[in-house]
């Protein structure tokens, strides 16, 4: 049944997340399922169909060739106090803290709106995750209390740590540095945690809109960020408006907080516009590939945390594996590969499949069942790569700013803390800005520098770049041990990162070709089987969100030098070079965008930097489970 046109947006704001999560325009559903979506579409979209809106132009203006330009239609807009882009730990923590402060001050009308491109909160979230609870203890002190009926019920206390250096068929123990001590931490599924955090946000009055992909930053006449716009829907692959076309919507805010996670698409734009990296080094990245398994009960050790280095990665490639036992017979297993690896023949996905056959992992997985697959990039630049985080009209929070502690392999607590600091700085700035002029969150920068985030990252600033020495892996391990036990971050020097990840890639003829074994279908799997476990889905008849201006030009640039590096660095089978005798190269470059799991590796690693990851239609992409 359709929602009555009399329902207002304000009524929608009080609707549960489950209703707003289902608020996908008809363009996203097949004709057979369209009526199901329509019955849950937001009231303001239903009302929009039934009666004209004063600020929405209904006429479609076509040029002399009959082509329709979506920009000829005005967008509907909404005014809020704070708009947050991204429903991960940072964005939700900022939203909760903002409403806590507003409610404490008796300002119940203070509007905090959070946009999340995933169909539901958590669908696009990937992490290890052994969480340090410092931030959540501060934000929601009773988050685990038996007296709290809404407590988080899926936290497994970390009980035992192991660290191993792997050879092909054996391993040796490594001393555990202080940063790797997980006593008092919890193994969680960040997917579950984010869903729970979203419910807590709604309880305090945050407006959450899943399935709304913020694709454009909006600026006022002074060049100050004044909000964001969501992307248009119902555009064909050729860029033409279909019958289901709907113009995107604008959300105007006094403060806009970007919490997009690693390598955010809007963050890229704002960093460039305001030159936020003028005093920092470039960011460097890793690609994390993960599976969740249900293992046999006799192989399960609740609370066991295992990390490994060495095999299968070559000595010139930074990275390592993990295995965490959590929940009921569940095991999180994964591999992180530094994207500054030089050999274009290396495939992170293939390395992960090899790692699972090592006895350390295989003995646990054998006889179990793989139930989920995911992949996502993570920031590894650390202290040296933190940009200016405040910009006119807003700020960067969480992993989009790069607060991951790489040696500690933790970032959730610092992402949450940064969101909370930004919330406090925002409320102070809004209270002081009585004339409603431009908001500059200078206090946020100050709060960061005096926070535990800054101290923690500065202390380990030299560990990751120490692996760039001529001694490679072993030199990095030796220096990291010296840093952990002796120097403790007090040294007067700060190492610089090497080349940018894309510039670190050597030509294919300079490197040894790597042949990966055929997957056995029990422990290791082909890439399309894994992608099917990610639940990813994109409507095919829409513009390709992985933007390459000229596919033939791209092939001419990349293929002769790197022999299909895109196919190997992508963990989802998105990129292919298909044999084609009609092409001068003998191959044709192809993008299978519907496979994309939104990891952002292509945007980071492609050597000639001509792939631009942009948001597809909101609600599309992976639908992760227990990741």
Catalytic residue, chosen from 83, 389, 511, 602, is 602
Run of H or E including 547? strand 546-547
Reply yes or no on whether 570 is catalytic.
yes
Give, in order, the Cα–Cα distances in Å from 430 to each of 281, 397, 424, 463, 617.
Answer: 31, 18, 10, 39, 33
Is 262 assigned a catalytic role? no
Q: Which residues contact 130 (CB under 8 A, 6 or more apart)?
A: 158, 182, 185, 186, 187, 188, 305, 324, 409, 410
CA–CA separation, 468 vs 474, rounded Å? Answer: 11
In the three-class reduction of DSSP (H, G, I as helix; E, B as strand; rest coil), residue 434 is classed as coil
426 is catalytic: no
Identify whether 370 is a catalytic site residue.
no
Angle between helices 452-459 and 442-449 (to 10 degrees): 50
Q: 511 catalytic, yes or no? A: no
Cα distance between the two ends of the chain: 35
- How many other C-beta atoms are found inside a 10 Å radius of the C-beta of residue 579? 8
The catalytic position among 20, 41, 111, 127 is 127
Beta 160-166 vs 112-116: how paired, if at all?
unpaired
Catalytic residue among 267, 505, 570, 615: 570
Q: Which of 265, 599, 601, 627 is catalytic?
A: 599
Phi, psi (deg, nearest 5) at residue 112:
-120, 120
Question: In whole angstroms, how far apart are CA 270 and each of 224, 248, 257, 258?
Answer: 10, 20, 11, 10
In DSSP notation, 50-118 reads HS--TT---PPPB-TT--B-GGGSPPPEEEEEEEEE--SHHHHHHHHHHHHHHHHTT-TT--EEEEESS
247, 596, 615, 627: the catalytic one is: 596
Q: Which of 41, 97, 376, 568 is catalytic?
A: 376
Q: At what angle do helices 452-459 and 412-432 cross, to 10 degrees?
A: 140
Q: Is 596 a catalytic residue?
A: yes
Residues tagged active-site = 127, 376, 412, 570, 596, 599, 602
């Amino acid at each position: 049944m359709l929602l009555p046109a009399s329902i207002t947006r304000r009524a929608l704001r009080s609707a549960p997340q489950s209703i707003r999560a289902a608020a996908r325009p008809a363009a996203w559903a097949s004709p057979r399922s369209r009526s199901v979506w329509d019955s849950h579409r937001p009231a303001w979209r239903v009302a929009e169909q039934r009666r004209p809106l004063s600020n929405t132009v209904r006429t479609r203006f076509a040029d002399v060739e009959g082509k329709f330009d979506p920009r000829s239609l005005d967008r509907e807009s909404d005014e809020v106090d704070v708009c947050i882009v991204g429903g991960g730990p940072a964005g939700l923590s900022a939203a909760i803290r903002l409403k806590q402060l507003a409610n404490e001050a008796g300002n119940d009308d203070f509007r905090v709106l959070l946009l999340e491109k995933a169909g539901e909160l958590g669908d696009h979230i990937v992490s290890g995750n052994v969480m340090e609870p410092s931030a959540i203890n501060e934000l929601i002190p009773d988050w685990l209390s038996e007296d709290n009926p809404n407590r988080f019920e899926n936290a497994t206390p970390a009980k035992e740590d192991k660290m191993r250096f792997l050879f092909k068929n054996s391993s040796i123990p490594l001393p555990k540095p202080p940063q790797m001590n997980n006593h008092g931490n919890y193994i969680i599924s960040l997917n579950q945690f984010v869903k729970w955090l979203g419910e807590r946000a709604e309880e305090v009055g945050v407006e959450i809109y899943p399935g709304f992909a913020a694709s454009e930053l909006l600026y006022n006449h002074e060049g100050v960020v004044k909000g964001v716009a969501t992307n248009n829907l119902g555009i064909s692959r050729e860029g033409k408006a279909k019958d289901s076309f709907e113009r995107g919507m604008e959300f105007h805010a006094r403060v806009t907080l970007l919490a997009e996670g690693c390598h955010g698409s809007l963050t890229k734009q704002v960093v460039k516009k305001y030159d936020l990296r003028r005093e920092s080094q470039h960011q460097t990245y890793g690609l994390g590939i993960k599976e969740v398994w249900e293992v046999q009960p006799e192989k399960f050790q609740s609370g066991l945390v295992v990390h490994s280095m060495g095999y299968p990665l070559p000595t010139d490639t930074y990275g390592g594996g993990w295995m965490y036992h959590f929940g009921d017979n569940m095991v999180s297993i994964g591999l992180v590969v530094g994207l500054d690896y030089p050999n274009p023949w290396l495939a992170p996905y293939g390395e992960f499949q090899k790692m699972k056959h090592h006895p350390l992992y295989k003995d646990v997985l054998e006889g179990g069942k793989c139930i989920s697959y995911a992949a996502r990039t993570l920031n590894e630049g650390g202290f040296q790569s933190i940009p200016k985080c405040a910009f006119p009209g807003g700020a960067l929070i969480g992993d989009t700013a790069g607060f991951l502690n790489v040696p500690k392999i933790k970032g959730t607590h610092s992402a949450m803390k940064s969101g909370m600091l930004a919330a406090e700085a925002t409320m102070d700035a809004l209270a002081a800005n009585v004339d409603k002029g431009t908001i500059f969150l200078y206090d946020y920068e100050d709060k960061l520098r005096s926070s535990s985030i800054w101290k923690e990252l500065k202390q380990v600033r030299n560990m990751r770049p120490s692996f760039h020495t001529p001694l490679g892996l072993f030199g990095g391990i030796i220096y990291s041990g010296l840093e952990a036990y002796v120097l403790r971050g007090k040294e007067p020097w700060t190492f610089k990162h090497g080349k940018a990840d894309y510039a670190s890639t050597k030509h294919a003829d300079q490197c040894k070709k790597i042949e990966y074994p055929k997957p056995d279908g029990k422990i290791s799997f082909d890439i399309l089987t894994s992608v099917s476990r990610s639940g990813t889905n994109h409507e095919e008849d829409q513009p390709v969100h992985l933007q390459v201006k000229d596919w033939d030009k791209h092939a001419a640039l990349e293929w002769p030098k790197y022999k299909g590096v895109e196919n190997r660095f992508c963990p989802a089978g998105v990129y292919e070079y298909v044999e084609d005798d009609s092409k001068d190269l003998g191959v044709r470059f192809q993008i299978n965008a519907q496979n994309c799991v939104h990891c952002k590796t292509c945007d980071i690693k492609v050597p000639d930097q001509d792939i631009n990851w942009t948001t597809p239609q909101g609600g599309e992409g992976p639908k992760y489970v227990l990741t």
